Amino acid sequence: MKTTCPYCGVGCGVEVNALDAPVSGDRQHPANLGRLCVKGSTLGDTLTHEGRLLWPQINGQRVSMDAALDHVASEFRRIIDRHGPQAVAFYGSGQLLTEDYYTANKLMKGFIGAANIDTNSRLCMASAVIGYKRAFGADAVPCCYDDFEQADLVVLVGSNAAWAHPVAWQRLVQAKANRPEMQLIVIDPRRTASCDIADLHLALQPGSDSALFAGLLNWLVHHDGVDASMLPHLTNVESTLAACEAWDVVAVAQACQLNERDILAFWQQFNAQSRVLTLWCMGINQSQTGSDNNNAILNAHLLTGKIGRAGCGPFSLTGQPNAMGGREVGGLANQLAAHMGFSAQEVDRLARFWGSERIARQPGLTALNLFNAIERGDVKAVWIMGTNPAVSMPEGNRVAQALANCELVVVSEVSAQSDTARFADVLLPAQAWGEKNGTVTNSERRISRQRSFSAPAGEAKADWWLLAQVAQRLGFAAAFAWQHPSEIFAEHAALSGFENQGTRAFDISALAPITREQYDQLEPVQWPINGNAPSGTARLFAERHFFHADGKARLLPPAMPVKNLTNQHYPLLMNTGRIRDQWHTMTRTGNVPRLMQHFDEPFVALHPLDAAAHGLSHGDVTRVQSALGWWSGRVTIDNGLRRGQLFVPMHWTRQFSGQANVDGLVAASCCPDSGQPALKQTAVRLQPLRPQWQGWLWLPHIITPPQLLYWSRAPQSAVQRYVLAGCTNAGEWLMQLPGLSQLQWQQAQAGQQLHMLGWREGELACAFYVAPWLPEIDHQFVAQAFSHAPDSPQQRHALLGGRPAQGTRQGRTLCSCFGVGEVAIRQAIAQGCDSPAALGAALKCGTNCGSCLPELKQLISSLRVAQ
């Protein structure tokens, strides 16, 4: 069975042959040609029903699906009748399928009559949408993945594609290996894994990208960089260029804190190469000037005519598997369906197509405003689907409080426990990947099928079905009578062509007559797909015709760089983002032991001098504080950071650690044009923690450890491993945990070191190791003892010691695909493996998805320096 990966916007094709066999990459899928990254290859491990939300609940009590849906509909009805349609809202996700999204949007904007449907794409792609719309008159990404292979210069800005878009990245790595003359310039305040193959890395001051690109535009004008044949197709040229004039290389160097030589090298390359591809992601979008940052990049491609040709163009990478699909159906509060806006003509068109009098006439609440309205009590009912805002929204603590006080919170979820599900009055079980059935659109506008191949867990239902059932109960039966997602897709395709006549970029009208069989067999295809292009379109704007009424594209004056947010109380700047093996709030990837091996704890990466200034070393635990709250996790030293800047991953939640949700620290300031929050820059300070003891705890089940300075959990085989840091008496602390007092205890104490094993009928039920420092324990050895209890006294003794009598330690796992640890890799390097290829030949590491290659290289070079 062929389907699509549910994680990132690369949109890789996946083949599933049997439920218990590993998944593999689809060799025919144009996005990945058979490759998968480690998250994709471990998808099979997420197919378990453990931890799934299996049935509906109202106030924590199991109810029938009918009772839950009746309750949701009657409460929505009651609130709408009393307070009007503006008092209800949906908050969705770029991980919903297009059919789910279409249904949610149709119900809220078409029939409830408010536009209060926004999604986590507001945190992700909103600035890119505004950028493209302002420049092209349409939210249309002009490029495709083949351009990765055909570019002469790739500019990667505000994107760590090596970790966040790994398979697309591997295409780039391969292309550069085949054509070493291909240039890669990375623009990112941090030196990331994506800098590994870069010819130039511009570690600019955070928030200063607009100055760098304004300077580029100005420099191009003075160095014969303008494509004169492009000028008739552009408006706003003079005013934009005038606004860029002040940005000479001296001013840019100062604003960006870069040296002039590097800046000029970038600008010269951009001018000299005919095929330039700029790729960008959250470092550009999640900024107070996010939309203007996008236009600054688009300006440069438009003025030089580096667009609409192979190997060329401004390519915004989408994050989520179906962020693009959401944009197509109008899944944001400031757009209507099928790339329409709120003009009277468009509202009327939609009213006729949907046969509804009740269409929303004005934009609704965007995510930040939506949660503010919930906080004020203006919005009294919210249905959250496929997203975890208590973790991922800025000012997470306020969001959580607002949800706690909201009259009706409905959450459709796949996992039983999530930080947001805690606030649900009604929980609806949603079908997960493998169960749900529909379509997604990836970064390159390619629509692919996600097909169902396994039976739903418990009573889980498709998100579109849950929505349509509530719509029917609200009295809109005829408009929501679909029996199968193919019918929704056909309606969506028909709407895209309805009175379009070339005015709207999103047009898949050729698919409107699709039958269920054709839908089941639909091959991946790029929009537009219409009468002119029945089998899809790889690139847009080859003819230089744009979607503004005059057919031209628009340049936009640049924004000023974001001003430095640090101050004397909060002198450090915190950047946040992704790590290679985790997906967002970890509700799925956090439960796969293999994916927890790369980083198994929340960490703060620090420049060595910042760490030293705070008396912190690698491995210490610390707090990070902002004006809004504090976070705790472990220090890791990172030479790739600029002084004064630190990096914290976005992933950890209350399900996995005590106080490691970074969005509790991030303020809700945003780009005024897109409403996208500036999640990458927060002023913070460090407050080292001084625990009396640190240690490890293994238990067969999940607990929430009380009263500690710091804890974090990682699943390991069938057990849970906790790393702990505390201040009270460690032995007494352990004994307060429920259920432990009945165990038979074996104990070893030497000074302040304490090792305890708890047994129940000969089976290991708890293992606990503490010391004033974090003790070195063989994790694998201890975890295995839970499934194979040691039978000899010597073995029990070794277990109490926390390591086999003679044993090896694996260290941090660098290659997740083959589970190869740092210790083995260090040994192999010491024995002469001096390249990733040699390591691959010796240990297999790096030979599957390749995403550990940057770290292998780094380890080789650091050990060589040390020698």
Ligand X SMILES: Nc1nc2c(c(=O)[nH]1)N[C@H]1C(S)=C(S)[C@@H](COP(=O)(O)OP(=O)(O)OC[C@H]3O[C@@H](n4cnc5c(=O)[nH]c(N)nc54)[C@H](O)[C@@H]3O)O[C@H]1N2
Residues that bind Mo ion (CB under 5 A): 124, 319
Letters for 593-632 (x = contact with ligand X by CB under 6 A, - = none) are ----------------------------------------
Is 318 exposed, middle or buried, given 0-12, 13-18 or 19+ CB atoms closer than 10 A? buried
**Of 77-85, 339-347, 406-414, 601-609, which part binds ligand X (CB under 6 A)?**
406-414
Residue nearest ligand SF4, Cβ-based: 40
Nearest to 360, CA basis, from 108, 688, 559: 108
How far apart CA 769 and CA 695 sit, in angstroms, is 5
Q: Which does 12 bind (CB under 5 to 8 A by kind): ligand SF4, Mo ion, ligand X, none?
A: ligand SF4
**Of 9-17, 339-347, 686-694, 755-763, which part binds ligand SF4 (CB under 6 A)?**
9-17
Letters for 671-690 (x = contact with ligand X by CB under 6 A, - = none) are --------xx----------
Shortest distance, position 644 Cβ to Mo ion, whole Å: 26
Decide if residue 209 touches ligand X (CB under 6 A): yes
Letters for 141-180 (x = contact with ligand X by CB under 6 A, - = none) are ----------------xxxxx-xx----------------
Shortest distance, position 127 Cβ to ligand X, whole Å: 11
Applying CB under 6 A, the site for ligand X has a residue count of: 59
Question: Phi, psi at residue 191, to the nearest 5°?
Answer: -85, 110
665: CB partners within 8 A, 6+ apart: 574, 624, 625, 626, 628, 629, 630, 631, 682, 684
How far apart CA 804 and CA 525 sit, in angstroms, is 55
Decide if residue 350 touches ligand SF4 (CB under 6 A): no
Decide if residue 8 touches ligand SF4 (CB under 6 A): yes
**Residue 204 DSSP class:** P
Choose between 145 and 219: whose C-beta lies nearer to ligand SF4.
Answer: 145
Choose between 233 and 436: whose C-beta lies nearer to ligand X.
Answer: 436
228: CB partners within 8 A, 6+ apart: none
Binding residues for ligand SF4 restricted to 23-52, rule: CB under 6 A = 32, 36-37, 39-40
Residues 679/123, Cβ–Cβ less than 8 Å: yes
Binding residues for ligand SF4 restricted to 165-184, rule: CB under 6 A = 166-167
How far apart CA 119 and CA 141 sit, in angstroms, is 20
Shortest distance, position 601 Cβ to ligand X, whole Å: 17
Decide if residue 590 touches ligand SF4 (CB under 6 A): no
Shortest distance, position 209 Cβ to ligand X, whole Å: 5
Residues 16/29, Cβ–Cβ less than 8 Å: no
Strand 88-92 and strand 117-119: the pairing is parallel
Decide if residue 400 touches ligand X (CB under 6 A): no
How far apart CA 147 and CA 400 sit, in angstroms, is 43
Residues 373/451, Cβ–Cβ less than 8 Å: no
Decide if residue 666 touches ligand SF4 (CB under 6 A): no
How far apart CA 642 and CA 607 sit, in angstroms, is 7
Decide if residue 664 touches ligand X (CB under 6 A): no
Shortest distance, position 190 Cβ to ligand X, whole Å: 4
Residues 648/624, Cβ–Cβ less than 8 Å: yes
CA distance readout (Å), 370 to 122, 265, 269, 395, 638:
11, 44, 44, 13, 37
Shortest distance, position 374 Cβ to ligand X, whole Å: 16
How far apart CA 160 and CA 585 sit, in angstroms, is 18
Choose between 162 and 833: whose C-beta lies nearer to ligand SF4.
Answer: 162
Chain centroid to Cα 651, Å, comes to 9
Which one of residues 2, 3, 7, 491 is an interface residue with ligand SF4 (CB under 6 A)?
7
Which one of residues 52, 176, 436, 451 is an interface residue with ligand X (CB under 6 A)?
436
How far apart CA 829 and CA 482 sit, in angstroms, is 60
Choose between 148 and 270: whose C-beta lies nearer to ligand SF4.
Answer: 148
Nearest to 812, CA basis, from 600, 581, 591, 660: 600
Decide if residue 580 touches ligand SF4 (CB under 6 A): no
Find the distance separating the first CA and the last CA of the chain, reported in whole Å. 51
Binding site for ligand X (CB under 6 A): 8, 93, 95, 120, 123-124, 157-161, 163-164, 187-190, 192, 206-207, 209, 281-283, 286, 319-320, 385-389, 391-392, 412-415, 418, 430, 432, 436, 463, 575-578, 580, 582-585, 587, 650, 662-663, 666, 679-680
Binding region for ligand SF4 (CB under 6 A): 5, 7-8, 10-12, 32, 36-37, 39-40, 166-167
